[in-house]
Amino acid sequence: MKAEITYAEMCQLVAEIGEYSHTEDIENINLIEAGFESLKVMLISSELKRRGIDVRVSELLKKPYLADWWKIIKMQSASVENEKEIDRVRTETIEFPLTDVQYAYWVGRNPDQLMGGISCYLYFEFECGEIDQKRLSMAWEGVQYLHPSLRTKFLESGTQVIQDKPYNSNITIYDLQQLDEAEKKKKLELVRNEYSHKILAVERGEVAALILSVIDKNKTILHFGVDLLVADLKSIKIIFSDLERLYNDCSFEKLQSSFALERYMNHKENEDSYQKAAAYWKEHFATLPEAPELPLKRTYHSVKKPVFKRRNFMLEKADWDRLAASAAKNQITPAMILLTIYTQILERYSNQSDFLINIPLFNRPSEAENEVADFTNILLLPVKSTEVRGFIGKAKSIQEIFLESLNHSAYSGVKVIRDILRSRSTQKLVAPIIFSCDCMEPIITDKFTGSFGKLKYLSSQTPQVLIDFQIMRFPEGILLSWDTVEDIFPKGFIEEMFRAYIECLRWTISNPDKWGEELPVIPETKFAERYSCIDTIGVKQNLCLHDLVFRNAIDRSSKTAVIEGTGRTLTYYELCKEAKKLARLLQLAGVEPGDKVAVRLPRGAEQIISVLSILLLGACYVPIGMDQPDKRIEKIVKRASIRYMVSQGCHLEINRMNIIDVNDRVKQGEISANELVNPSSSAYVIFTSGTTGEPKGVEISHSSAMNTICDVNKKCNISEKDSLLAVSSLEFDLSVYDIFGILGVGGTIVLLDEASKTDAAQWLDLITRYHITCWNSVPFLLRMLLEQTQAEGRKLQSLKTVLLSGDWIGTDLPEKLADVSPNSELTALGGATEGSIWSNYYRVKLPVPKEWVSIPYGAPLDGQLYRVVDQKGRDCPDWVPGELWIGGLGVAKGYVGDETTTNNKFVSFKNIRWYKTGDMGRFWNDGTIEFLGRKDTQIKFRGYRIELGEIETAINRIEGIKSSVACIVSEGGSQKLCAFIVKNDPDSELIEDSIINQLLSSYLPIYMVPSEYQYGKSIPLNANGKVDRKTVAELFFKERQDVTGYEKPQGAIEEELERLWIEVLGSTKYSRDISFFKAGGDSLRAIILIDKIKKSHLVNGDLGSAILVNAPTIRELAIQIQMINQSAELTVDTI
């Protein structure tokens, strides 16, 4: 057939769709500016396509003048066979396939589907007067016969068939006239609850329901529900219109439709446009973003049956007209304005710049203008970050993306979703955020309202959807509705998000002259409470770390300050006297105020004496562990410009390094006068691991550290009556509190030696012997102590204050502490070394809520602040994760010798200095800060963002399991989720993987359940007592020791070494060539092993703790031991 249309016909078509009375009114105007919306343009395109002229919507929108449209049409009006003509012959008894959208709805009804188990369903209630029930029943039956879709049955095969008769042609009637008011209200609630979330029996042909609740003679409620498998929004309008017409007209002639839906649906995919669109999406789907990751309080998998809640806002007609007029002036449709506001809201409330939005398209063919069916197509809109500034700039950018996607909508968004699921192997929802806009004509006419009353209630639900934003026209205005799965979001979150949308909409309507500015999604005033304490943040502490210690040498001179594990004690007077003597030695060596002085000593009182002596001179101490490799020491020395080191019998050779032996102080008198040290000067530098492999030295001032210490002491009521067991090493900043927090108030520190630093049994003996009241450590060390205490059947009666920080605090730990130490109070602390030990605190109360994954950060310490910042440096709303920034008095000076990193990590905001931690966190709506993990433990797996600590918490709940570590292992280009487990009883039988998985499925979604487990005697830790995840992951590598590759150790030394490895690492045997670290060892285990080797009398000389770095296998270590023994024998012979 000839594909053609005359100019006059085109003008008439535009006038009719645009609702213009005269065609001459539109010939010389910009149609978009005149209010021609995108949906109207889609109708023009659809009608032209029906006539054989394939013109894209985007072409019409780009040139919105009649003359330009005519040129485009003439170019496309070649003489071609119009294969788009729909065969109108009915074949009602033949099965035909579902559309892509129908199939998605149908599959979503399956309860096994993620966020499924419900129908896609729309529900209305109208409040009317007296209703003629017989006429209404006849009218409803007529509507069902008029529209074959309302007689459709959906088969198990995934097909549909049109039946001769409706499933139920009658209406359901509830007569409530005899009930009292309370009973009527209760019954109406029951009817609403039943029918607003109804799952109709579509497999039997039940696709819609009409119900009457008769209240009294003059009041009736009309309920209507329809499964959207058979109807789109236009269809709802048609149903209501026909119902009203048949109810009032009582004419049932010409009720047979001639439109063949099955023929139309079977024909669509043969179009050329489909093939082109398919090629387009297949080229781009790999780069499509994911859905916005809005904060959830529970997982998708935990929602057995989604229940939706609706929020409405009626935009008055006058305001809508103002918005439409402003949009037209900017050559953009009002729908795109509403969509742009939506994208801006989603960006701020998900902290994502790139995401997908699901947009239903209502592009029914013109020949089906009065047909009831689901002609919905799905368009996926990829919103991506852009450099475009200003609201209108972003709106035009969104419109361009929309038109680009619309040009290729013949390949449905449902198919694109399937492609994404297949290619990414993801189990998450791909496009659960919907924007549905149909504001061309009212969904309910005045005639319908006149017969059946005003709309009283409206709701909808859709499977596999989180937020369904619907925009509908009503006589009084435009109704904006959000239907959301309420129970999956934090309390108040959606309410706040919806409120923000409405406020932005009002701003847009009221300020069209400001569209060139950024949309004020969240005004700065919203975060005023978080910064309310800036003006009262206080002044810096006018004290140095050592000031109060030396004051106690006067006020409490005879009180015991330090007790070594060996029993040696030092009073405050003795401690400070020794510090002054060492200070004199350092002074004579050339140490001056401001110098960085290294401290490399074994655990004991000499460490504290050295630190005090350095601070006394106005210098800055830099702790270096005894087990640090020489090359790393050289890096630290160079980075911090260290020229002096306090040590003990050290033979380390470093260029231009003056090593002062702490024992030489006995030859010196005391320093003549204390230096007047400025509290703003540097007190210490703690070196941490850098991401580039270079150590980073965090430089902290006296006043910053004292701000933290004084506040914690005040909050925890620490006094001269308290004592503390110092389990942290000097190079870990918890030691700063151990020393100066306790000695500053006149308390007592009990020190461990190198032999007992990992021995929980000795910790318990010391706590009991000296009646220790304070414990300060990372969570894992406390767990070790509690397990040892339980194993010995004892209690920690003396403990009063327990401070935990430095890592995730498992939710099971507070209860275990309360059981073993009934008199203690647990305070969770957090922050960063760069924030002067700690920056926040939380008093833990029992019981810990079951839904918590870990103990929260709580609130900032006095003089300190927190920000949660998005990717653009803006404050995140409540519940939205972002990077934690620490501000205020505790912020470090920076990284010593590294100006570039300092400038990148330390910034100024609101005249406050902030440190960007790299930790993830969020604010609860009550102001509580929640720690969400380091970026290096918050991993992406199969499309999901996973916090490993959540998996560990779930595993630790299983009976018989003491502790666990989860990790991602990469092998052969793929990833797997693994877990390392330590049992309560090492000799008990292994728990079968299937049993663990079954138990974990009660707490975790399937994608978070590990695929492989390994067991060990203990969790690998680093030197600071934190979990060594890198070492754990190495245990799962394919190249780890295999039984088939086992080579038995040879000789007495190797056999003894294997026995010691088994004691330390917990396996049954070790090959002589397996690396200690590959076998599960770590720096802490290395220390324990070396100690056991020394006690075994295998070696006759000095065995350095770093020897395993150079000789990590049993074979190599045996050779080294033999060489040391031979050297020792030669020395004896020489003597």
What pLDDT does residue 1134 have? Answer: 38
pLDDT, mean over the chain: 86
Closest CA to 445 of 237, 144, 223: 237
Question: Does residue 16 form part of some domain?
Answer: yes
Q: Assess whether 43 and 92 both reside in one domain.
A: no
Q: Which amino acid is it at 1131?
A: T
Question: Does residue 888 form part of some domain?
Answer: yes
Question: Does residue 536 form part of some domain?
Answer: no
What pLDDT does residue 1041 have? Answer: 41
Residue 81: is its pLDDT beyond 50? no
Question: Does residue 612 form part of some domain?
Answer: yes
Residue 606: is its pLDDT beyond 90? yes
Residue 945: is its pLDDT beyond 80? no
Cis amide leading into 847 (omega within 30): yes
Q: What percent of the chain is predicted at pLDDT more than 70?
A: 88
Domain that holds residue 1114: 1043-1134
Residue 239: is its pLDDT beyond 60? yes
163-168 own/partner pairs: CB under 8 Å, 24+ apart: 163/92, 163/205, 164/92, 166/141, 166/205, 167/201, 167/204, 167/205, 167/206, 167/207, 168/206, 168/209
Q: Assess whether 1016 and 1084 both reside in one domain.
A: no
Residue 849's CB: how many other CB atoms inside 10 A?
A: 6
How many domains does the chain divide into?
Answer: 5
Calculate the alpha carbon distances from 1073 to 413, 673, 990, 1051, 1069 in Å. Answer: 56, 59, 27, 14, 12
Strands 974-983 and 801-804: unpaired
Higher pLDDT, 41 or 770: 770
Q: Yes or no: say if 1020 and 1033 are a contact pair by the CB < 8 Å rule.
A: no
Q: Which amino acid is it at 486?
A: E
Residue 930 pLDDT grade (very low, low, confident, very high; cuts 50, 70, 90): very high
Calculate the alpha carbon distances from 581 to 435, 558, 650 in Å. Answer: 75, 19, 20
Question: Does residue 920 form part of some domain?
Answer: yes
Q: Assess whether 605 and 461 both reside in one domain.
A: no
Lowest average pLDDT, out of 119-133, 372-386, 938-952, goes to 938-952
DSSP string, 910-928: TTEEEEEEEEEEEE-TTS-
**38 CB-near residues (< 8 Å, 6+ apart):** 57, 61, 333, 335, 336
Residue 1087 pLDDT grade (very low, low, confident, very high; cuts 50, 70, 90): low
Domain boundary (76, 110, 126) is at: 76
Q: What is the CATH number of the domain that holds 923?
A: 3.40.50.12780
Higher pLDDT, 321 or 67: 321
- DSSP H/E element including 183: helix 181-196
Q: Assess whether 982 and 908 both reside in one domain.
A: no
Question: Does residue 531 form part of some domain?
Answer: no
Q: Assess whether 1005 and 894 both reside in one domain.
A: no
Lowest average pLDDT, out of 71-80, 1004-1013, 1045-1054, goes to 71-80
- Averaged pLDDT for residues 1053-1079: 81
CA–CA separation, 595 and 851 (whole Å): 50
Residue 1133 pLDDT grade (very low, low, confident, very high; cuts 50, 70, 90): very low
CA–CA separation, 1083 and 731 (whole Å): 14
Q: Assess whether 253 and 363 both reside in one domain.
A: yes
What pLDDT does residue 25 have? Answer: 62
Residue 390 Rama label (left phi>0; alpha psi -120 to 50; beta): left
What pLDDT does residue 1044 have? Answer: 41
Residue 80: is its pLDDT beyond 60? no
Q: Assess whether 293 and 337 both reside in one domain.
A: yes
What pLDDT does residue 201 have? Answer: 95
Q: Assess whether 66 and 112 both reside in one domain.
A: no
Q: Assess whether 361 and 395 both reside in one domain.
A: yes
CA–CA separation, 471 and 695 (whole Å): 56
Higher pLDDT, 699 or 97: 699
Residue 428: is its pLDDT beyond 60? yes
- Averaged pLDDT for residues 886-904: 95
Q: Assess whether 70 and 144 both reside in one domain.
A: no
Residue 1052 pLDDT grade (very low, low, confident, very high; cuts 50, 70, 90): confident
Q: What is the CATH number of the domain that holds 1120?
A: 1.10.1200.10
By three-state DSSP, how is residue 736 classified? helix
Domain boundary (55, 76, 97) is at: 76
Q: Assess whether 489 and 362 both reside in one domain.
A: yes
Q: What is the CATH number of the domain that holds 1030?
A: 3.30.300.30
What pLDDT does residue 1082 have? Answer: 55
DSSP string, 70-108: HHHHHHH------TTPPP----TTS-EEPPHHHHHHHHH
> What's 368's DSSP letter?
G
Residue 1135 pLDDT grade (very low, low, confident, very high; cuts 50, 70, 90): very low
Residue 39 pLDDT grade (very low, low, confident, very high; cuts 50, 70, 90): low
What pTM was computed for the model? 0.77
By three-state DSSP, how is residue 733 classified? coil
**242 CB-near residues (< 8 Å, 6+ apart):** 142, 143, 146, 147
Residue 1122's CB: how many other CB atoms inside 10 A?
A: 14
CA–CA separation, 226 and 1025 (whole Å): 61
Question: Does residue 716 form part of some domain?
Answer: yes
- Averaged pLDDT for residues 385-392: 89
Higher pLDDT, 265 or 74: 74
Show the beta-strand stretches assigned E in 284-342: 308-316
Q: Assess whether 829 and 865 both reside in one domain.
A: yes
Strands 944-947 and 658-661: unpaired
Lowest average pLDDT, out of 205-209, 658-662, 999-1003, goes to 999-1003
Question: Does residue 937 form part of some domain?
Answer: no
Residue 77 pLDDT grade (very low, low, confident, very high; cuts 50, 70, 90): low
Q: What is the CATH number of the domain that holds 233?
A: 3.30.559.30
Q: Yes or no: say if 998 and 1033 are a contact pair by the CB < 8 Å rule.
A: no
Residue 364 pLDDT grade (very low, low, confident, very high; cuts 50, 70, 90): confident
Domain boundary (881, 899, 929) is at: 929
Residue 32 pLDDT grade (very low, low, confident, very high; cuts 50, 70, 90): confident
- For 111, half-sphere exposure in the C-beta direction (CA atoms, 13 angstrom radius) is 5
pLDDT in tens, 947-987: 787 788 889 889 899 889 998 876 544 467 889 999 888 87
DSSP string, 629-647: -HHHHHHHHHHHT--EEEE
- Averaged pLDDT for residues 1042-1060: 77
pLDDT in tens, 633-651: 888 999 999 999 999 987 6
CA–CA separation, 106 and 99 (whole Å): 10
